[in-house]
A and B are shown apart, each in its own frame.
Chain A
Amino acid sequence: MDIKLKVDASGLSCPLPILKATQGMKTIQPGELMEIVATDPGSVKDMAAWASSTGHMLVEQDSANGKFRFVLRHK
């Protein structure tokens, strides 16, 4: 998987992870992938809601050791 941009939102609380996601998406092109890592448990539902609302696609997500990782494809 060719990740174009990696964003670390660890240690940041709501709403910063989705703001970082918004910021990151502005720097990549349609079809490209962004990976974002957060520690805020609220980011799990938030990132899904953000993706469905903005139209970017959440293509992968997992969690380990208190970190939540999301891969999103620019619409």
Chain B
Amino acid sequence: MDETISIVLFSGTDDKLTAAATLAAGAAALGRPVKIFLQYWGLDAFRADRVTADHGLAPEAGEAGRAAVDAAAKAGQAHWIETLRMAKELGEVDIQACSASMDILKIKHADLDPIVDGVAGVAAFYINAGEGQIIFI
């Protein structure tokens, strides 16, 4: 069994970024290699100057959802970037930016938070995913 967990992070709202960071960190804690592929708005959220900015929530959140998420943050839920940094420190987590998304959004590698390891295309993503599971968020 290939234990690698690959996460395609397409969405850029804080709730989905948090969900992705949680899945990545959990897998890393279990000792599984984790590959994260950043596309579109997921990639945009990793711009160095705005990782901790307010990225909003998915449309279905509504006002009650906003209040619940704010309460969780206040109660000690870690910010998604902190969860990812911790996961990276403790396990094997590789984060690659989708080169096509970089072109479309006019983002350069230097614009990204240093947590992003590199820039790759979709073929490299599939090769690295191997036979392991792929999660799309």
A contact set with B: CB distance below 8 Å: 11-16, 18-19, 21-23, 26, 49-50, 53-54
Contacts and interface: CB of A to CB of B under 8 A. Distances in A.
Interface in B74-99: 75-78, 83, 86-87, 89-91
A13 B77 contact: yes
A5 B50 CA distance: 37
Given A18-B29, A53-B30, A11 B76 contact: yes
Interface of B: 22, 25-26, 28-31, 72, 75-78, 83, 86-87, 89-91
13 contacts: A12-B77, A13-B75, A14-B26, A15-B25, A15-B29, A16-B86, A19-B25, A21-B29, A22-B91, A49-B30, A50-B30, A53-B31, A54-B30
